[in-house]
Structure 1
Amino acid sequence: MNGILSLIVSKKNFIIYALLKVLIMVLSLVTNIFIVRKLTVSDFGVFSVALMFIGLITTFGFSWSSSSILYYGSREKAKTGSINKTFWARNIIIEVSLVITTILFALLRHQINEYIGLDVAFLILIWLYISVAEDYLSHYFLAVKKQLMSSMLSVTAKVIYLLMILIFSFDVKTLIVLNIVSHTTVLLYIAGMDKKDIGKFEFDSDWFREVLNFSLWQLFGFSGLYLINFGDTAVIKHFMTTEDVGIYNAAYKLFNSVANLAFVISSYYAGSVTQYFANNESEKIKRFFYRERFIIFGLSTIAHIVVMVFSKPIITVLYGDRYVQSVIIFNILMIGSIFRYLAVFYTLYYNTNKKHKVLQYINIVRAVLNLVLDIVFIQLFGLIGPAIATAVALIVTFLYSVFYCEKRIKIMSKEGRMNDVTTEKQS
């Protein structure tokens, strides 16, 4: 009992951070319930396609360079006390990226409206710029180890969005406007930034090349991550109906809320694990990967099983009986989610040991495999086919990471202890 209490106390900040992330998930879920119940199945399908496209432009517009602040900013902060070089390096990257994205968006706006089935191209572009600011603030706070402040950004936006949905009547276009307004409020968190972390403009060409290289590989891999849901939605839209898109995405959004909580682990521990490997702290590496990892995964697996057991009442209570088809889709996806929780520890290993290229190749392979299996399985199994494809793709790429990472983690921890002994003897 005392051991459990001491563990809880020692991980207090992580537990609070995780609870805030759960709160964000709950707020998203509750918001989605009101949206699903208000809109027709067909309109929810249109809204899902609009969100899919918003996700596409945010992924290729700026999200691909976000984690450079987290990993390189943390490294710079540990060595110099600021994230100045990383901050300005990413500023240059994001400005060029946004100019290119804006030009392409302006040229293709009519095609975008036609594909979505609604005149919302200009609103989506505004949403992109608001999302850039929110994402920048969130990753800045993570890099300087203000994780709770980072999570409060999303809590603020989600609470305001939910309140606005409860107050105002809405259609699909109005929902996008409400999203923009609610997320704009996070700009108030600029007041929480420390000027010492940023400082005046500083350009280090070597550091810039490192950050750019890391970011470009993230772009390569992020396209794979995004294309999983994009592929599912596109394949269902091609072979089936808009209503089927709505039914599938009702399950997928619920799954994604649970599965994305896995990134709570990587975002919270990224700064610390980066320092463990950089400083060759073998005992801390061993403790994290061979103790804390198994505790966190064990608890998350139990939570998954509980959710799966009660999936039918959860979905029918949340979305209504018309979404009962989503239950089996959700349960299949949740099997994939269990493996995502295991795989996120390997994400930490890849990114903190300059193996990000391997990680991004894995993300692309997962996306391609998912898309191919989507096409095959939807014809064999119908609407559950894309869910099976997603779960299989997650499991296969996880198994590769086990093969690639485990032996390297073990070797590094042993070499670290040997180096510590050698250092002591020399001194």
Structure 2
Amino acid sequence: MPREQKLLSDIDDQASLRFQVPLIKFYQYEPSMEGKDPAEVIREALAQTLVCYYPFAGRLREGANGKLIVDCTGEGVMFIKADTDVTLEQFGEPLRHPFPCFDELLYNIPSSEGMLNCALLLIQVTRLKCGGFIFALRLNHVMSDGAGLAQFLFALGEMARGVTTHLISPIWERHLLDARHPALIIFTHREYDEMEAPVTTPITIFPFDNLIQHFFSFGFAEVSLLRSLLPPYLRCCTTFELITACLWSCRTLAINLDPDEEVRMLCVVNARSKFNPSFPSGYYRNVFVFPAAITTVKSLREKPLGYAVELIKQAKASVIEEYVKSVAALMVARGKRIHFPHVIGTYIVSDFTKAGLEDIDFGWGKAVFGGPMIAVGFISFLMPTKNKKGEVGSVASICLPAQ
């Protein structure tokens, strides 16, 4: 592995991405793999994969003006082998959140979850009594988004199955998402309003303590019913846009804010397809932005569901290549510490239904479930799920104060 230092891009290096993302995948027993230890197979494949993805084996340092740097030290990632005396079936059918024994399926090694001088990946393989296993992972988000993580995990699966060359070669190329010089902010980025002029309308700070997490399922029947509530010209919206609008509206009702308070949905947009020429497929770091759909509590409460859908579609449509460059310029001009408004009216739904995490095969076939483990503050995750009939749906996580 080269011993070098790699700067993060101006998109990676923002305060809003400085947190850990936990992921979990369940695999069933595969007779053809009898006698093989999934933990050892994955551990050996991980060592091989890190030869190409060597920045993951380094540590974050802080440079001038707080700029994060990956010091490619080759110190490695953390890997845990575990055993349990339960079977996959005991986790329920179909598999869905919340999963019991969460803390044991992804053990938090003391002092491992920091930003600086800590491992960038933590992986735990828990072998089940039935011959299946659970693969859990914790990623430092500044290193990669969902699409980039999927690329890394697919490469890991290839190595575990004996494929000697990666289908997609990883590239760093941070300059693709660095601000131009001089930095030009050509869009109004209301997703980072907390650092803007003083707010004149009431605001309620997000209470990060004593939160309760809950999960809601959206199958074919629920999605069809929601879609029937829309005017005909909006019924072609994506399922993600529809569910996001529903969650935003219901969450706004639940938190019971002042009618004049602003609420905002920060729409997660993968910007890879927005670049011309097209963005290189091997780039495995953060390539997404958060254009804001903004309205008042009163408007969201009193207007039909289609109103929220339209706001979300308009926000997503605003993202072009220049928008992404403008976000990078904002990070440089205002300092890397700017972040999303930490008010309860801010909400994000991140879509993992198309990430393909359940398709990653270590030799035991595809996962029977794959997705993030938990909601994080005002961030919800939408994950794929299947019922007993094999029908595909979605499950959404949400965190709110108990009341």
TM-score (norm 2): 0.30
Q: Which has the bigger relative contact order, CA under 8 A and spacing at least 6? A: 2
Task: Return the structure number with greater helix share.
Answer: 1
**Is the strand fraction higher in 1 or 2?**
2
> Structure 1 length as normaliser, TM-score?
0.29
